[in-house]
Structure 1
Amino acid sequence: MKSNTMNTSAGLVFDNSYARELGGLYATWQAAQVPQASMVKFNRSLAAELGLDVTALETELGTAIFSGNQVPEGATPLAQAYSGHQFGRFSPQLGDGRALLLGEVIDPLGRRRDIAFKGSGRTPFSRGGDGKATLGPMLREYLIGEAMHALGIPTTRALAVVNTGEAVLREGVLPGAILTRVASSHLRVGTFQFVAAKDQDDVLRQFADYVIARHDPALAGETNPYLSLLQAVSERQAALIAQWMLNGFIHGVMNTDNMTISGETIDYGPCAFMDSYDPDTVFSSIDSQGRYAYSNQPRIAQWNLARLAETLLTLIDPEPARAVTLATAVLDDFPQRYQQHWLTGMRRKLGLSGEQAGDLELAEDFLESMAGQDVDFTLAFRRLADSAMCQHAMAQRKSEWQGALMGKIA
């Protein structure tokens, strides 16, 4: 396919390890050309964090790059291949149906970051879709990603949203758009599933070693680095899901292709922050069974990790029974890891100082009292803080009155 590579990079200096080391796990591809691109939103702070030329990217150069009309020098656009369990059913080949990995950059802190498009047209993995995106959902992903980042929740982030000048047919005719997404990587549980399905231990080992080198380099020296990788991913997901739950966030579609190895939240499709507290809240029009309901998210995370563990068994131990025993121990530990992260956060939300044996029961009782009462999840904790401040002010005023009265008596 024709590539419109440009020499002006605007600080985008690529080092594309995925393309270089993982042949067979992607299709080299180009974004579709768009007729009339215009910048809608540019994330200046994120661009600066990446070490990019912010001023240059705010010009027509940035619009040309983020629309896919021009490919920066050094980029190797590709559509990643992966599998996935979608609502519990396994699809052996999914892949980037409307996304492209433009390449990887190393930020000023030495962190490798993916730069990827969403909505940039058909790919070999589109499965009949048009590969396009519309402006509203791309702006929504930008906003939610930045909100998650501001809340301290690990997340992919949006670098830019560009209007393509195209009309995209959905429930009606809507303006087309492309979102540029930044992630520590786009490696997923589903990527492991795709590799493991090849049934080639050397390919699986090569891929697992790549993942370790990218996300957990210290594990390379472990006695069993692949078991340690499972433990590391489990820990990251326990911390992430706890933060989702503490902030009332409902992902909506926790398929295995939407669970990252890095522990970042990815793919803001049907998602929301819960208003009235209801543990059975679902935020996906196709989730009729409530598989991905708010309260189910920790359990689904453990289920997804079990699918990851299945792909690693032959690497964990050549003896199947031993491999299963070792992996199962990690999975069985997940609920406790999750609960530790969740309870630490709930202590802060409830204003508890220190730790006491009854803290878990107190937190659970508080949530139970909210259920069915149409109580706003976020404001309930805000009102606790307001009440505490009011009580403190009243106690201080009482002390002042007592002091004044004693002065008069003296």
Structure 2
Amino acid sequence: MKNKICVAIITVAYMLSVFGGIVLANSWVNNNINMAGQLSRMMMMSDKLAFDRQVDTIMANMSPEEKLGQMMMIGIYGTELTNDAAYMLNKYHIGSIILFDRNLVSKEQICSLTDGLQQYAKETVKEPVPLFIAIDEEGGRVVRGKNIIEPPPSQADIGRSQNLAQAELWAQKTGTNLKSLGINVNLAPVADVGTTDTRSYSNDASTVASFVKAAANGYESVGEVYALKHFPGIGRGKVDTHKDVSSVDVSKETLYETDLKPFKTIIDQKENDRFFILVSHLKYSQLDPNNSASQSRAIVTDLLRQEMGYNGIIITDDLAMGAVAKYGSSRDSGVKSVKAGVDIVMMCHDYKQAAEIYSGLLDAYKTGELTEEQINASVRRIIRAKLLNRIEYTD
């Protein structure tokens, strides 16, 4: 009997020792996992602080003139860096360029042009960050250099395929092709619901959101910056904004259920520094009865920035389009857009008008109509995006 009791005691003691060892081992592992997690978080915080300091240092060494130049995207003429284009870069510190068919002849020529633009910005103008160089390569009828860059199918064709993988694949392919040419921003995909042409994936908002997300995945996988357009959606427009303003009478509640859904999906699910949102010139009378979207603080700041939580770059559609140009000067339209909360204003086809926009912004800054706080907020977003997306000067 005593032997059995002794055996039982020894067995229990052994089990307790083993269990205690397991507990201690688990405790050691958990403590080390927690420590590793804390170290990882500390390293991430350190990286973030270092990145923020880098942005702060760049901005601290920029003049107001340089900052305002970062807030402009212009089109240029010629298939190489011309004296006129060089003058615009140097005089107005332009931070972004958009290319059209007039600039595209061959792959070798495009690479030479983009390299030349970046080198001039770096070596002559001494810009602290490289240029955004953009293009409209949506697919279908809106493509550039179709004999040079493989043109994607229209978004409507991709949508009709009901194959999300096609949207991702074409974004990957297009992004890769553009990056190889020195073009680091594609002003696509179109996030509009139910346009009357072939530019929309679908008439259904949820379907559009799914295809836009697939395209976003494709662009991000190859490191190409992309742009969702045309906020808050032009599917309801009845007039081509290239010609005149189109007024849409629809409630905010309805927009949230339809046109805004693709934009909101990407804002909520993607890192906002990886993409632009391009704002249209349509007028949404229930949101702002007086101003086109690109000139409306109620739409750009109150809705997109504050309500929808977007903290990336907001860019206008071309300010030379009739919906804006017929109702005010270039000087005024640029200032109104920036006051509304836009980060980059676009002027695609006219150097003189681009110069007027810049002069208007600078005068508004000097008089206090545009505040230093607002300018700095926009430029900070632009610099962050250029650094995070590895927009680099060419060698």
The TM tier, using the shorter chain, reads under 0.3
> Greater share of strand residues, 1 or 2?
1
What TM-score, normalized to structure 1? 0.22
TM-score normalised by structure 2 residue count: 0.22
